[in-house]
Structure 1
Amino acid sequence: MGNVVSAGEIRRSVVDLCNQGQFFAAHMRLIDNGLDAHTHPSLWELIERRAAEAGDEALAHRVRREILAADVASVDTVLNEARYEIEQGQLGRARALLARTFGEEPENSEARILLGIALAPEDRAAAIHLLDDAQNGSEVETLWAVDAFRDLGELKRAMRLCQTAINRFPMNAMFRNRLGWIAEGVGDFETAIAAATMNLNGDPDTKVRALNRLVRLHRRLGDKPKAMVYAAQLLREAGSPVQKLALARTLGQTDLLYGIVGSLPSLHARGGLAEGEARKVLTFLLDEGEIGLVLFLWREGVPIEADMRRVLMRKGFGEARADLPRSIEDAMGIRSPEVLFPLLPEASDLPLPSDWSPPLRDTDKIMLVNSVLAAGGAERQFLMLARALVAGGIDPDRLHAALFSLERDRGHGHFEDALRATGIHVHDLSAQDLSSVVMRDHQQDTMALLPGRMRSDVVALYGLAQQLKPAVIHGWQDRAGVASGLVSQLLGIRRTVISARNMRPRKRGDEADWIAHSVYKDLVAMPSVAITANATEGARDYEDWLDLPRGEISILSNAVDETVFFPTPNPPPSDGPIRILGVFRLAENKRPLLWVDTMAALRNRHGLDIAPRIVGAGPLAGELQRRADQLGLHDLRLDPPVEDPSAIYRDADVLVLLSQVEGTPNVVLEAQACGLPVAACRVGGVAEALHRDGPGGGLLLEAEIDASAAADAIAQWLPTALAADYRPRVQFILDRYSNAALVDRLLDLYGATP
């Protein structure tokens, strides 16, 4: 008769095996000796816990499933399994497990947070309700809740929770990191800077991340000297090549980026560039579109992943070592997406037409694409686009608006309700299920080699367009225009319209303007593609940039809805102060500080009784308020953007716009449609948009002007403009910027028959 092994001996053996890291053997010891989870749950939980601590999640999961099947799971085991299912994307399993164990309203704080995360895709309100209690949770639970709110797009909730957590867990830099990211996302730059500054005293990695954020924030605020101070410090602190490359790109210092890349082969030869770091470098460069630099480092012996190498070779790069660039200079001209063109006919599923026929049919779908629906003029015109098409007789069911983001807390959904009210379909591309997207191998290769900033846009838009099969795709502004142009080629969409910005990307500070340039150059030669601008000045700038003859970029003028923007009949005379209105984003190119300085000069130098008001938001809000206080403009009224601004014009006497950069500013058109006189600087399409005839004509100021000169000109012009008949201004807008004119132009661009 064989020796009988006692339960105590098995227990000691299992503990010893776990101490040696042999978790699978310990698991088998229990099974072979008949010690199941029902009779010996503590031993099974020991193996589960120790395996999970060692990172063997697969075995830990298997053991937990057996414990759960035996109905002897402890609270910790249930929570660990729920966390595992969430990490694996099995939210339904996690949801069922948590609800079965803890109910729909768990008292256990960790269970509440996990159930909130699991419920998020299915029941947003219930998820928020559960996660709102996380302020009293543990350090780890609170961090989970912050991330869950971020994933839900509830950035303000995430921000409030971070601020509470920073006070409760002052040593945890992760809360300050997240607070900085979230605050920047919602436009609270002062909080973002404060959070990053606090992390300057953290560990080296935390400090580097904080310096990177401070460089980016101060560049966005237009404070280049301060950005350079932090950049210099970052160069001293940054330990990894990727951190230095990211800094060079953030600063727009292409020469610095090339210099860093040029130093990497010798660094690798000395053993100073580990394989993992080399992989990060090559991934970063590929995401930046720098294919040539990737090929150069490959030639120089820097290790490249097999998948990346195969994709490059399938696209014709690196088939022979001799063909790889020998120097940085050789590599500089090999950039994506330019080197991927022409995409057709190799990459297309459907052949594009050689001309504009056949015409748009009554059943054809039209896809309108924009980045976001923020409180800006371009976004308002996107709304007008949809309204005009519906008013022009297009069935709303044929119209689909696709937005890259509609996150309300980031200001991306300001016009969403108004857009949905038109009856058209509205799609949030950030919420698209990409699992059903089907691409051929060569199309997948093309996606893999696109710059990272384009790749996610194109893949999401491709998936929706593949599903809807539109006959027309209309990209609004450059980001959406680039993605729409590529998708139209890849899917063979019959007609493509791209409505460009008010000036080429580099003039707006985009150092990577070769991306849009290469796409537009490929598209503009196709008869099925039309590129438009909303003003002659903008069209000429794009034509110069793309080396096109005059008239190649056509004009698609803005429109004003005369049913919304109209003057108050017989306005009563105002006996109070002159109500001066500014409507603009509080950003550097709108010159809000010049606006405030001009108001102070009108009051202090010219003695005008004024009531200044600004409607807008942006990164300079804090600085603007401080400047107003310093100048004694304590009565400055600063209001956030509104969805329907028509009422604010009727509560004003004059509009003043001192932007340095504009296209055709909607506020100039809308104010005049409401009967207001307008003073604005000669930039972009302002001169075209401004009624200047007769005593009630607008005031066109010089583009480069200081507050004293602006105030002098406005003070001299204002009395006559206010006393003049408002009706010529209104008629000017009706004649040139009507909805009917926009509809006719759109239908012509889309190929609709009269």
Structure 2
Amino acid sequence: MRVLHILEATGGGTARHVVDLCVGLAGQGVEVHLAYSPLRMDRILEGGLPLLRQSGVRLLELPLRRAPHPGDLKALLALRKYLKQAGLFDLVHGHSSKAGGLARLLRLLGSAKAVYTPHAFITLSPEINDAARWVYGLVERGLSPLTSTLIAVSEDEAREAIRLGYPREKVRIIPNAIGLRTSQGEAREEVRGRLGLGHNDLAVGFVGRFVSQKAPLILLDAFAKVAPKNPQARLVMVGDGPLGNTLKQRARELALEDRVIWPGFMDGRQTMRAFDIFALSSVYEGFPYVLLEAMAEGLPLVATRVGGTELAIREGENGFVVPIGDIQGFAQSLDLLLSDTALRRRMGENSRIRVQQFTVDKMVEATLALYKELLQE
């Protein structure tokens, strides 16, 4: 089997998903090619390129812009040329909207069946206006007939795909996944020491980009409500982004300067060893990897009701799910966990058990089974 993957969104969870999937498929004997854009490449894909090469994945660097651009036609023709030169492919698999669009447009030029993984539809964002949502929805509906199968990474994303006009029988759910091997690095107390956390401090942790999609201001405001009652609590905001200065100004306004730690960019999963609770306040997601990483580190979770939380969190068992933007509800859930050591331990252990459902091996096996099914049709 020969498969070409296309990726423009070469950062964050999407890049991680593609690296894990391509390496896993190559390990199952699939001839994997990956066309990727260097324009938005972050450390995740950059660090994954050597592993991809070592696994036998053939790489094609193809500059792509996130927004619609005249260069998209040039990229489409470059992909068509590559398909002709490299020989027949069984499938083309596009990840996120730009690469997903190109993968399906290639069918008009005579390419193989097209698989599309959206990795969070932009139409799920409450921040875009109705006109933009209509336009994005129209594009998805237009490309639907060219889609052999759409892979949703969560039930929320699958529901949105069907709402956008994708036939139910063309939509499959294959959740994101992580490797569960014990991660190397510093022990919990060493990481806590580097963060400046004391022995009795309780760390509520966030890992991600400081952008509006992640809504870190919601978390900051919720923490402000529980901080006076829980003097031992500290908020650790791991990451960076355009909202960084705004967040720090808000922390000063809330008199939280001594209660919030800003370590910048760090290895997410390793840093989670220092946490006692993991918090995610996003307004929309596909299926965030940070939830799975936090579960693997044995943490109880508090998260908004976005894509993936319905799969990762069993309410009251390994965490709490609150409505998007509900500062009071978020604060109440944090308070429950901060005030109950036994509850934190029980939920953390349940997270460690539940995450075993979301392994990379299972994700690769499910994707490969879908590929084979498509080729038999």
Separation (CA, whole Å) in 2 of partners of 1:473 and 1:412: 24
Separation (CA, whole Å) in 2 of partners of 1:569 and 1:414: 23
Q: Which has the higher contact order (CA 8 A, sep 6+)?
A: 2
| More strand by percentage | 2
8 Å contact 2:152–2:175 — kept in the other structure?
Answer: yes
- Post-superposition shift, 1:567? 12
CA shift in 2, pair 1:732/1:670, >3 Å:
same
Separation (CA, whole Å) in 2 of partners of 1:649 and 1:713: 19
Q: Which runs of 5+ in 2 are unaligned?
A: 193-197
Separation (CA, whole Å) in 2 of partners of 1:491 and 1:628: 55
Q: How does 1:261-660 map to 2 (within 5 A)?
A: 360=1, 365-374=2-11, 376-391=12-27, 393-394=28-29, 398-404=31-37, 406-407=38-39, 411-412=41-42, 414-422=44-52, 423=54, 424-430=57-63, 452=70, 454-469=72-87, 470-493=89-112, 495-503=113-121, 505=123, 507=125, 509=128, 510=132, 512-513=135-136, 516-524=139-147, 529-546=148-165, 548=167, 550-563=168-181, 575-604=199-228, 606-635=229-258, 636-642=260-266, 644-660=267-283
Q: Which runs of 5+ in 1 are unaligned?
A: 1-359, 432-449
1:68-108 deviation per Cα after TM superposition (whole angstroms, max 9, x unaligned): xxxxxxxxxxxxxxxxxxxxxxxxxxxxxxxxxxxxxxxxx
Separation (CA, whole Å) in 1 of partners of 2:246 and 2:353: 39
- Post-superposition shift, 1:632? 2.4
1:117-143 deviation per Cα after TM superposition (whole angstroms, max 9, x unaligned): xxxxxxxxxxxxxxxxxxxxxxxxxxx
CA shift in 2, pair 1:716/1:531, >3 Å:
same
- Post-superposition shift, 1:412? 4.2
> Does structure 1 residue 669 correspond to structure 2 residue 272?
no
CA shift in 2, pair 1:570/1:622, >3 Å:
closer
Separation (CA, whole Å) in 1 of partners of 2:299 and 2:142: 41
8 Å contact 2:301–2:320 — kept in the other structure?
Answer: yes
Separation (CA, whole Å) in 2 of partners of 1:640 and 1:607: 24
> Does structure 1 residue 743 correspond to structure 2 residue 361?
no
Separation (CA, whole Å) in 2 of partners of 1:413 and 1:584: 13
Aligned amino acid, residue 8 of structure 2: S
Separation (CA, whole Å) in 2 of partners of 1:711 and 1:726: 19
8 Å contact 1:566–1:674 — kept in the other structure?
Answer: no
- Post-superposition shift, 1:394? 2.6
Aligned amino acid, residue 394 of structure 1: G
TM-score (norm 1): 0.43
Q: 2:355 aligns with which of 720, 733, 743?
A: 733
CA shift in 2, pair 1:587/1:451, >3 Å:
closer
8 Å contact 2:226–2:335 — kept in the other structure?
Answer: yes
CA shift in 2, pair 1:565/1:461, >3 Å:
farther
- Post-superposition shift, 1:551? 4.5
Task: Say which SS state the counterpart of residue 144 (structure 2) adopts.
Answer: helix
- Post-superposition shift, 1:539? 0.6
The aligned counterpart of 1:678 is 301
- Post-superposition shift, 1:624? 1.2
1:166-210 deviation per Cα after TM superposition (whole angstroms, max 9, x unaligned): xxxxxxxxxxxxxxxxxxxxxxxxxxxxxxxxxxxxxxxxxxxxx
1:651-689 deviation per Cα after TM superposition (whole angstroms, max 9, x unaligned): 222111111112212111110011111110112231221
Aligned amino acid, residue 500 of structure 1: P
CA shift in 2, pair 1:427/1:416, >3 Å:
farther
Aligned amino acid, residue 546 of structure 1: G
Aligned amino acid, residue 378 of structure 1: T
CA shift in 2, pair 1:745/1:425, >3 Å:
same
Aligned amino acid, residue 381 of structure 1: H
Separation (CA, whole Å) in 1 of partners of 2:199 and 2:43: 39
Separation (CA, whole Å) in 2 of partners of 1:459 and 1:703: 41
- Post-superposition shift, 1:597? 1.5
Separation (CA, whole Å) in 2 of partners of 1:692 and 1:466: 51
Aligned amino acid, residue 726 of structure 1: G
8 Å contact 1:497–1:749 — kept in the other structure?
Answer: no
- Highest CA radius of gyration, 1 or 2? 1
CA shift in 2, pair 1:532/1:411, >3 Å:
closer
Separation (CA, whole Å) in 2 of partners of 1:467 and 1:456: 16
Separation (CA, whole Å) in 2 of partners of 1:503 and 1:633: 35
- Post-superposition shift, 1:748? 1.3
Separation (CA, whole Å) in 2 of partners of 1:421 and 1:602: 44
- Post-superposition shift, 1:504? 5.3
CA shift in 2, pair 1:727/1:429, >3 Å:
same
CA shift in 2, pair 1:571/1:630, >3 Å:
closer
Task: Say which SS state the counterpart of residue 496 (structure 1) adopts.
Answer: strand
TM-score (norm 2): 0.83
Q: Percent identity?
A: 21
| More helix by percentage | 1
Paired residue total:
354
Task: Say which SS state the counterpart of residue 373 (structure 1) adopts.
Answer: coil
CA shift in 2, pair 1:702/1:559, >3 Å:
same
The aligned counterpart of 2:195 is none
- Post-superposition shift, 1:725? 6.5
